[in-house]
Structure 1
Amino acid sequence: MKLSKILAVLALAAFTENQAQNYLNYSVENAHSHNDYMQEVPFWQAYYAQFGSIEADVFLVKGKLWVAHTEKELSAGRTLENLYLDTISKQIKLNKGNIYPDPNRKLQLLIDIKQNYKTSLNALVNTLKKYPEITGNSGIKIVITGGRPQPDDFKNYPDYLYFDGDPDKNYTEDQLKRIGMFSADLPGLVKWNGKGIPRDEETAKIKSVVEKAHARKKPVRFYGAPDFPNAWVNLMDLGVDYINTDHIPDLKKFMNTIPKNFYKNTKEYATYTPTYKTDGIDKKVKNVILLIPDGTSLPQYYAAFTANKGKLNVFNMKATGLSKTNSSNAYITDSAPGSTAFATGVKTKNTFVGVDGMGKALAQIPDIIAAKGMVSGLISTGDVTDATPADFYAHSDNRNSSELILKDFITSKAKILIGGPTNGLTRETEQKLKEAKVDIYHDLKSATTSNRTLVIDPLASQRITDGRGNWLADAFDLTLNDLKNNKKGFFMMVEASQTDGGGHSNNMEQLVTELLDFDHVVGKAMKFADENKETLVVVVGDHETGGLTLLDGSLREGWVFGNFSTNDHTSIPSNVFAYGPNSKEFTGLFENTEIFNKIMAAYGIQK
């Protein structure tokens, strides 16, 4: 094997999956505004984004340094002084000696000399004499690139000037002190276009440049690098210090959201091993457990799967399908019509709960099966009057009518309702619930279910990361232990409400931890289905939230890194998973109303 190949293999061996967690070390301080003068608002756009590096190309014309990409593009007023030096000077004075309001933030000004470096550098030195507040400022580093002197001549220029280094050159100790950073031509090094990942030999070449720079304790950047999220991710993976961009707002948002878009799981768990003995058989069921992870689709599931190192209970279900989520009046649904479709088999308008598009009350699963002697329980990690649980017991054309929604539990046939606090529990409503012989508890641990039961527990609405613990699993156990005693059968709906919150807040940690907590309940439901042999388990989200894209992750290390395109719902179909008798009926692409129809068919109930 050639030495070059051996070195490439060794370099790749050193680049473990764990090193890809470099993301957390990056911020806008690692962002470089390439050809900044071509921005609509030079300097200021990158400055207000708090970029760590800004680049200006200069031409010496009639004794002045003009900023442009080519000589043909030179225009009046666009000098290095007007666009950069004067504004930098003003900001230093405004910030009492600091370039940024935060004294810990620094700025690198990369000046690309486009002509004869000797005359241009002499002109630059003369110009900078007017700006001692810049040249004497430890928070600003001026680095010369493009035309620049040989290393032996670095000493002939003021100490405040640094030079862009060549990774393949050797420098003395004194010369290295004048190197501000190292730069390399990425297209000249590899053919990688930023899509996918570089080939192994290309990765080795890039890593070699990075390691040479870091061995000399200097940062490194690649010019000519692809400029979009996947390329940024790969360059960060490889340890590149400055990420070039012409798209300041995009890179700013990307860098600023890294802490929320990255999550590493520290609580790996083993999944339940299904028996599959009754899975998919054609047999009427007595019980249905409907599990709704709000705001989820395949990216959310796969993020959780990755974080749990390639294990997820829901992925052990063989029957899978897709549910179309649009409401009757909108391409993108909200939770109210989303779960109304599950509960009633009817598409309705956004914000409508348990009613059709004209506001007429619809028959819901708990009421329908009660006529057969069956019982129902509803659980949510959100407000008990939130849209999803309300869709199974209430009727309203306004999902925000909490008090009216909660009053509907009085006439609902659902036996158990468990969730978080609501503004709907007024003194009047509480009194009416008690008169209807509904037992009310404010702590899940103290609740019993011998009568109709309403549990409004503040712990339910807390996030897993804020200490909710095993609340959802405990609520599931409490409800199941009651419902399973009914010989005629039961229906249970369990909603993981705060997975949706993770999408709305674009918070990967919240999203994944909530979904993993939910997946524990999926495992419990599958285990019960195996033991009971007459239970169908269905998992389906009411819609997707956040427009999540997974950019990187490690199944071995249990971390995931993504990007959100919105803070609201999307029209992406929701994944459907089913386990137990009749599970095969939940395959394919179908309307969300078919969840209701297929559940009714599994019970053997005619609509």
Structure 2
Amino acid sequence: MKLKNSIISVVVISMFSCKTTNVTSNEVTSNKTPKNVILLISDGTGLSQISSAFYYKNSTPNYTRFKNVGLINTSSSRQDITDSAAGATAFAAGVKTYNGAVGVADDSTHVENIIELISSKNIKTGVIATLAITHATPASFYAHTLSRDSQEEIAVQLTQSKVDFFAGGGLKFFDNRKDGQDLLKTFKENQFDVNTSSLSDFATIKSSKKVGFLLSKEGMPTMEEGRGDFLSKATELGIEYLNKDNSGFFLMSEGSQIDWGGHANNASWLISELIDFDNVIGKVLDFAEKDGNTLVVVTSDHETGGFTLSAKRKKRENGREYNDYSEIDPTFSTGGHSATLIPVFAYGPGSEEFIGVYENNDIFHKILKVTNWEK
């Protein structure tokens, strides 16, 4: 069943009644309006996934740098348990919709996303993912389709979109299409400079009107397969490029494959992707702390796998099993998604707005409220 308002109220009061006292000197706590927004989405990440960084990362997790923390209910318009398409559409357009929908409301009508809304205000925009750039989460920030599976249609929409910078995989949806179209040519006609071999340095793309990177046929390699620091580098490059005119920007960067590790019930895959995402958080917070005008919001569309940091089950000499509380054994309860509440971490001007317990589509409205972009 959906959460009841009365239950939410109790949780809010009990968890966040002292929210204004837990602040350090380097945390921005004024009501200053942010000029830039960086939204980091760790697909499929619940609290246990985040907790894994505290046990498996060799350094202090960057999650510890946040003081303003909230929780979101991720249920979609028709289902208690959301998928990535409905979850990302809630973030991108501020509406609850049905599972599988990309950029459309529950009645299948198109809804304006944040990139479409702010591009007319000379605010630069970008999307980054470690899966195909046509996958559900990034697609929800620039496309409109009744089904997330329509990736060739989503690819066409990217070539026509207001996006200024993108990076990820999914090349086959642009150059090896069933309809024979060469969308790399279409990109060029629409003033995109698209690289299909590697990330460039900033000097190379500085003068480009729009920039894109399609660096694998489908999803990018996993961390265990040697992807390296692609996500950190792409995010840093995106920030530098979008910020070159100092006119304000919005960037969504997704750690996509935490979700896939959860679906596969593969703890090492999941944890390696989560640690990579935590490294991206560090790079983004370093920029935001120095810049002073950037709001950072870190959250997830849903939890995947029913992931738990369980105690290791062992046997005594007499054959009886016991829980060894000195050793963690990551376990899973499902190969799908779960309905658990998802944490939201916020830093920078306007970050206090993200404290509390609320619905996932409120992320969109809170961003517009603190930036005044809707006016």
- The bucket for the TM-score relative to the shorter chain is 0.7 to 0.9
Q: 2:227 aligns with which of 468, 471, 474?
A: 468
Match of residue 370, structure 1, among 119, 125, 136 = 119
What is aligned with 2:289? 530
Contact 2:83–2:99, Cα closer than 8 Å, also in 1: yes
Secondary structure at 2:33 match in 1 = coil
CA distance in 1 between partners of 2:373 and 2:145 (Å): 26
Contact kept? 1:385, 1:422, Cα under 8 Å: no
Q: Show the counterpart of 2:96.
A: 347
Contact 1:550 1:563 (C-alpha < 8 Å) held by counterparts = yes
Tell me how many residue pairs correspond in the alignment: 330
Q: Aligned to 2:346, which of 568, 572, 578?
A: 578
The aligned runs of 1:212-361 (5 Å cut-off) are: 276-308=25-57, 311-361=60-110
Equivalent pair of 1:289/1:535 in contact (CA under 8 Å): yes
TM-score with structure 2 setting the length:
0.84
1:588 and 2:356 aligned:
yes
CA spacing shift, 1:468–1:437, aligned 2, 3 Å: same
1:441 and 1:593 mapped to 2: Cα distance? 33
Q: Deviations over 1:340-359 (max 9, x none)?
A: 00001011111000111222
> What SS does structure 2 have at the residue aligned with 1:288?
strand
**Distance in 2 between the 1:467 and 1:568 partners?**
26
Give the direction of change, closer, same or farther, for the CA distance of 1:276–1:384 in structure 2 (3 Å limit).
farther
Q: How does 1:17-28 map to 2 (within 5 A)?
A: none
**SS of residue paired to 1:351:** coil
State the AA in 1 paired with 2:199.
Answer: K
Deviation at 1:446, TM superposition (A): 4.0
* Structure 1 residue 445 displacement after superposition: 2.8
Structure 2 residue ranges without an equivalent (≥5)? 1-22, 313-325
Q: Within 1, Cα distance between the matches of 2:248 and 2:100?
A: 31
What amino acid is aligned across from residue 341 of structure 1 in structure 2?
A
For 1:559 and 1:593, the matched residues in 2 are separated by 38
Q: Is the 8 A contact 2:199 2:213 kept in 1?
A: no
Question: What residue in structure 2 maps to residue 405 of structure 1?
Answer: 154
- Quick one: which amino acid aligns to residue 551 of structure 1? S
- The alpha carbon displacement at 1:275 in A equals 7.3
Alignment of 1:52-71 (within 5 A): none
Within-5 A mapping of 1:417-428: 417-425=166-174, 426=177, 427-428=180-181
Partners of 2:171 and 2:311 lie apart in 1 by 39
Shift of 1:374: 0.5
CA contact (8 A) 1:275 1:530 kept: no
Q: Does 1:504 align with 2:263?
A: yes
Mind listing any 5+ residue stretches in structure 1 that lack a counterpart?
1-273
Amino acid at match of 2:119: A
Shift of the alpha carbon at 1:422? 4.5
The answer to whether the 8 A contact 1:293-1:496 is kept is yes
RMSD value, Cα: 2.0
The CA distance in 2 between the partners of 1:458 and 1:411, in whole Å, is 21
Amino acid at match of 2:241: D
Deviation at 1:476, TM superposition (A): 1.0
Q: Please name the residue that 1:437 is paired with.
A: 191
2:300 to 511, 534, 541: 541
1:384 is the counterpart of 2:133: yes
Distance 1:456 1:275 in 2: 40
Check 1:572–1:431 CA distance in 2 against 1; reply closer, same or farther (3 A cut): same
Do the aligned partners of 2:145 and 2:154 also contact (CA within 8 Å) in 1? yes
CA distance in 1, matches of 2:348, 2:148: 33
Question: For 1:460-479, what per-residue CA distance to the aligned partner results, in whole angstroms no more than 9, with x for missing partners?
Answer: 61011100011111111211
Higher-Rg member (1/2): 1
Which amino acid is 1:373 matched to? N
Query: Which residue is 2:209 aligned to?
Result: 451
Amino acid at match of 2:165: I
Q: Determine if contact 1:276/1:530 at 8 Å carries over to the other structure.
A: no
Cα distance between partner residues in 2 of 1:551 and 1:408: 44
CA distance in structure 1 between the aligned counterparts of 2:245 and 2:68, rounded to whole angstroms = 28
For 1:276 and 1:337, the matched residues in 2 are separated by 37
The Cα shift of 1:417 comes to 1.4
Please name the residue that 2:242 is paired with.
483
Residues 379, 559 of structure 1: CA spacing in aligned structure 2 closer, same or farther, 3 A cutoff? farther
Shift of 1:433: 2.3
CA contact (8 A) 1:359 1:397 kept: yes
Whether 1:606 and 2:374 are equivalent positions in the alignment is yes
Once the two structures are superposed, what CA deviation does each residue of 1:50-100 show, in whole Å capped at 9, x if it has no partner?
xxxxxxxxxxxxxxxxxxxxxxxxxxxxxxxxxxxxxxxxxxxxxxxxxxx
* Residues 131 and 168 in structure 2, CA contact (< 8 A), matched pair in contact too: yes
Cα distance in 2 for partners of 1:444, 1:454 equals 11
Task: Give % identity.
Answer: 41
Map residues 32-51 of structure 1 onto 2, 5 A cutoff.
none
Q: Give the structure with the higher percent helix.
A: 1
Task: Spell out the pairing of 1:127-142 with structure 2 (5 A cutoff).
Answer: none
CA distance in 2, matches of 1:498, 1:549: 18
Q: Deviations over 1:507-537 (max 9, x none)?
A: 1111111011111110111111111100000
Higher relative contact order (CA 8 A, sep 6+): 2
One-letter code of the match for 1:444?
S
The answer to whether the 8 Å contact 2:232/2:280 transfers is yes
Structure 1 residue 411 displacement after superposition: 2.7
Contact 2:236 / 2:284 at 8 angstroms: preserved in 1? no
Using the alignment, how far apart are the partners of 1:299 and 1:589 within structure 2?
18
> Aligned equivalents of 1:502 and 1:397: distance in 2?
26
SS in 2 for 1:465: coil
Which residue identity lines up with residue 335 of structure 2 in the other structure? N
On the 8 A contact 2:27/2:67 being kept in 1, the answer is no
* Distance in 2 (alpha carbons) for counterparts of 1:324 and 1:535: 25
